[in-house]
Amino acid sequence: MQKAYVWVSGKEKIAEFYGQRAEVVFKIYNPKVYQNTKIIKGLVVSKGSGHIEGRVKIITNPFTDGKKTKQGDILVSIATTPDIVSAMRKAGAIVTNVGDITSHAAIVSR
């Protein structure tokens, strides 16, 4: 049985995370605020083409982690930097803790 589930959405479902992957997504965000949170909510800045499923790739070191990204991966990062643009191009979805509709991730994703 899965202990954790995360559904990232706007008006339409964008990405789902299960089990350990969901727990990692929770830990990216402030653990004191989200410790007992079952759902992470946020602003969808570029909804893309709808439902996305993929392997979660946590970017903790943009110089090494970005190079390991595969086509369709769901990138999870505190923020995006020019160092991971090549990884962002391969991503099926991008989840960040920092940004809005004018952020680097939003502009590059359009």
Active site residues: 104
The alpha carbons of the chain give a radius of gyration, in whole angstroms, of 13
- Tell me the C-alpha distance between 12 and 15, whole Å: 10
- Tell me the C-alpha distance between 110 and 105, whole Å: 9
Nearest to 79 by CA among 63, 94, 57: 94
